[in-house]
Amino acid sequence: MGMRQSNIVVLASGGGSNFQAIHDACENGTIPGRVVLVVASSPQAGILERAARAGIPTRVAAKSDDPLEIVQGYDVDIVALAGYMRLIPSHMVAAFADRMLNVHPSLLPAFGGKGMYGMRVHEAVVNHGVKVTGATIHLVDSAYDTGPIVLQEAIRIHSHETSADVSARVLEIEHRIYPQAIKLLAEHRLRRDGRRVHILPNPTP
């Protein structure tokens, strides 16, 4: 008997390229799960079109809406934030404790926090002159970008690179490691010990 498929909901505010990477990893069997709902913070979010093409139900969350109420009824196992611009309410964080992931385009805790998202992060990284950056997947807590780190991958920054160059390279990392983190969560291979997240070995079949 195989492992039960995890039901995944993706919350996003933008174009949804990370959603696409997650959905593709579900479709090709990398992630033992499926995206059952996409929630966007704006009716203009490009992710809605991607989700519709994939035949996945969508909802638009107004600022006054409770995202926990929106996802109820979908038997959700994992929540994946993919460029979702709003702080998740604490009661939803509690409901999905250690089952909600976020992606951030820097090596946290550097260049994170309120107002640090998208190209703003890469501009700050380049302007600061740091030599390495990357992407972080972390569990979600009640503040911006402070939850326990699950996966990180770094790249070297070359002195001639622009923020757009860095953004493109970091996005490639995001598309690779976000599905990996969701796969680990779906396989029950993440164990949090305080701020440290341990990755458990793959059980032999």
Query: pLDDT tens digits, the chain, 205 residues: what are they?
Result: 456 899 999 999 999 999 999 999 999 999 999 999 999 999 999 999 999 999 999 999 999 999 999 999 999 999 999 989 888 999 999 999 999 999 999 999 999 998 899 999 999 999 999 999 999 999 999 888 999 999 999 999 999 999 999 999 999 999 999 999 999 999 999 999 999 999 999 876 5
In a domain, residue 204? The reply is no
Nearest CA-CA partner of 32 in 202, 183, 203:
183
Q: Which domain holds residue 103?
A: 6-197
In a domain, residue 124? The reply is yes
Q: How many helices (H) and strands (E) does the chain have?
A: 6, 9
Q: How many domains does the chain have?
A: 1
Whole-prediction pTM value? 0.94
In a domain, residue 1? The reply is no
Nearest CA-CA partner of 74 in 41, 33, 103:
33
In a domain, residue 19? The reply is yes
Q: CA 90 → CA 18, 66, 67, 93, 196, distances in Å?
A: 24, 11, 11, 5, 21
Q: 104, 122, 138, 175: which is the annotated catalytic residue?
A: 104
Nearest CA-CA partner of 58 in 102, 19, 100:
19
In a domain, residue 86? The reply is yes
User: Does the annotation mark 188 as catalytic?
Assistant: no
Nearest CA-CA partner of 62 in 82, 79, 39, 80:
39
In a domain, residue 205? The reply is no
Q: Could you read off the pLDDT of 108-133 as tens digits, one per residue?
A: 999 999 889 999 999 999 999 999 99
In a domain, residue 60? The reply is yes
* Domain CATH for 179: 3.40.50.170
In a domain, residue 203? The reply is no
